[in-house]
Amino acid sequence: MAMKRHVIVGGGTAGLNAITTIREYDRGESEVVLLSGEWPYARMVLPYYLGHEISESHVFTATATRLAKLGVKPHIGRRATALDTKNNKLTLDDGTILEYDDLLIATGSSATRPPIPGANGPRIYNQWAMDDTRGVLAEIKGGMDVVMVGAGFISFTILNSVLSHGVNLHVIEVMPQVLPRMIDREAAILVQDWLRGRGVHIHTSTTVKAIEDVDGRKRLLLAEGGDLMADLVIMGTGIRPNLGWLAGSGIEINQGVLVDDHLRSNVSNVYAAGDVAEGPELITGKREVHAIEPTAMAHGRVVGANMVGRDIAYRGSLLMNILDVQQLDIASFGNWSAADRETSVLLEPRGHIYRKLVWDGDRIVGAVIMGPARGIWTTNDVGMLKGLIYSGVHLGAWKGYLQEHMKDLKKPFVACHVIRDMLPVTVLDHPTVPARDVVAVEPAG
């Protein structure tokens, strides 16, 4: 009997985790084909390369040797252009047609730029792909004026690395606050103050209307009047899922590919995972796109298991964003912005400390936590808070205690046995096996 053929489209976090999981279960007893526009690498590691903390080779997540050990047939540098779900055929940009038994859509997202004149000129980079990082590294020099357009999560993941080059940094944000989709206004004001205290120029409620080239420099014209001169511009103006190649495939799409708790699309042998998938959220069960690494990782693992015939249901993803911004720890989880829910807030402006808990009865369903990383209390509490939300624990009388003592997460965390409850929780039906230990005993092909 012919071996089953799994085709994985996209070699990012979701795709690679699916492949490793397939091999964790079947040890090489199926054919695995990887089609990916780029060689597999981890985008979230790019900031460390940008800050010269690691070399470029450390960003990659699989070498040719590793893929061979996993028994994977790679098609790298090629792109999917069409999917025929009736005949199980995938078309590549060079005209090749790949047949599959089942297929994973893991094509991630791409950066988008606002439609402003000059936005595609020289010395303007996104901060999403390896080539963006290479481009910035080739240009950036101490003493330069650098403008970051967009003050969202991705821009902030590279902020420390950009500053480490000794540049004069301006951050422009169209909304009235930085990190508008990650923290609330009270917290953002403290972040802005913290950064201004470290010499970063923050321009909120500011819109770039055009970018011009003047004597080898960039002039950013602002809608509110005035301009800003820069040597280098970095765009962090959003991303959108790579779905164009699915036109006419019959795959149901909303913001992303709609998937059930097994990460299956409306076509039963086609799955989706990572940034491109709109799958169940942990607390409400509603389907959402979470363009974050932990979701891509868990999705990939669940899909891999289901592709080899396991029956693994996914509990859902918890939205989480965690940042270190010049030694200020900032994190938010779950339903942090819920305006209609009971909240408890602690605000200490002078210490740059902010905490907000969002309640559903005696359970925490969302939170914002922020404070200097001096000492370890904020960093530790980020982890405990995640545990309290992820476990869905009913805090009972500890709710009142927490409301009185917002800085003491440890007592309720210990008393409610969060660790004991979380330890046996696994994404798959067994404890995690280190990825490096997974190989295909008999490489396919």
Work out how close the CB of 352 gets to ligand FAD at its nearest, in angstroms, rounded to a whole number. 21
DSSP strand E in 50-167: where?
72-76, 80-84, 89-92, 97-99, 102-105, 109-111, 124-126, 145-149
**Secondary structure (3-state) at 305:** helix
Work out how close the CB of 154 gets to ligand FAD at its nearest, in angstroms, rounded to a whole number. 5
120 vs 141: CA distance, rounded Å: 21
Work out how close the CB of 398 gets to ligand FAD at its nearest, in angstroms, rounded to a whole number. 29
| Closer residue to ligand FAD (CB): 38 or 139 | 38
| Closer residue to ligand FAD (CB): 158 or 163 | 158
What string of DSSP letters covers 142-174? TT-EEEEE--SHHHHHHHHHHHTTT-EEEEE-S
Which phi and psi angles does 9 have, rounded to 5°?
A: -105, 105
| Closer residue to ligand FAD (CB): 11 or 180 | 11
| Closer residue to ligand FAD (CB): 167 or 330 | 330
| Closer residue to ligand FAD (CB): 49 or 194 | 49
Work out how close the CB of 294 gets to ligand FAD at its nearest, in angstroms, rounded to a whole number. 6
Q: How far apart are the first and last CA of the chain?
A: 14
Work out how close the CB of 45 gets to ligand FAD at its nearest, in angstroms, rounded to a whole number. 8
* Interface positions with ligand FAD (CB under 6 A): 9-15, 35-38, 43-44, 46-47, 79-80, 106-109, 127-128, 154, 157-158, 242, 245, 274-276, 291-294, 296
186 vs 252: CA distance, rounded Å: 39
Work out how close the CB of 327 gets to ligand FAD at its nearest, in angstroms, rounded to a whole number. 16
Q: Which of 3, 4, 1, 7 is nearest to 303 (CA)?
A: 7
| Closer residue to ligand FAD (CB): 279 or 371 | 279
Q: Which of 170, 169, 152, 172 is nearest to 223 (CA)?
A: 172
231 vs 141: CA distance, rounded Å: 9
203 vs 175: CA distance, rounded Å: 10
